[in-house]
Amino acid sequence: LLLSCWSIGSCSCGTQALALPPPLSTNRIQSTTTIMSASATNDNNNDASPIKRHVLLIGTALPPILEQLQARFHVHILDDHDGEDEREAWLQQHGATMDYVMTNNGRGVPQSYWPWLSHLKLVASFGVGYDSIDCHEAVTRHIVVTHTPGVLDAETSTTAVLLYLACFRDLLACDKYARSGTTWQDQGPHPLTRTADGRHG
């Protein structure tokens, strides 16, 4: 929720582009904190003092992020309730008070949760992708959906290099050989493997 906001008006679900109905404009990019600060202002209060909104956390959050959220919002951690039946029972009772949802693409927002989140304003997916979020439902209800594209590009690239080198150097087989307890006197050294440029060595 403290990351950059991407308007649902410029997203696509699958191959079908979604048109955002009025009054929200398409291709609007704002910071999530701006959206949340604006919606957290009590319009009926002359001094426009902010009020704490309610955030439903589906899944987990890193401690520093959770600490920041709890300082600014009433945070409700759904996983504190054991079992899906207990979670849905809690949502039936409290879901209408939730202003924002923070989730990830692995958990998303289960389809059965949407009817209970009747006053939802924003769904923030902490990570890349929004496949597990019903964008059509969000568009119909003028709910903003955000995610964090590009945040893992460098990590994905370095992991690809790691796997590439591990395959060329037969790393897993070498590791198994080293851990097997078999002495080199019995089996001899592990066969030479290829280098990244195709040589043996």
Does 127 have pLDDT greater than 80?
A: yes
Number of Cβ atoms within 10 Å of the Cβ of 196? 11
Confidence of residue 8 (pLDDT cuts 50, 70, 90): very low
| 22-34 pLDDT tens trace | 333 333 333 444 4
Which ranges of the chain does DSSP label H, i.e. alpha helix?
32-39, 63-72, 84-94, 135-140, 153-168, 171-179, 184-187
Four-way CATH pick for 8-146: 2.40.420.20, 3.30.565.10, 3.40.50.720, 1.10.10.10: 3.40.50.720
pLDDT tens string 134-191: 999 999 999 999 999 988 899 999 999 999 989 888 899 888 888 887 767 688 888 8
pTM equals 0.65
pLDDT given for residue 48 in this prediction: 55
Helices and strands counted in the chain (H then E): 7, 7
DSSP lists the bridge partners of residue 123 as 101, 145
* Token pair belonging to 112: 């059965």
CB 139 within 8 A of CB 24: no
Mean pLDDT of 45-59: 79
Whether 4 has a pLDDT exceeding 60, the answer reads no
What is the average pLDDT across 98-103?
96
Whole-number pLDDT of residue 40: 53
More confident residue, 17 or 188: 188
Give residue 192's pLDDT band: very low, low, confident or very high (50, 70, 90). confident
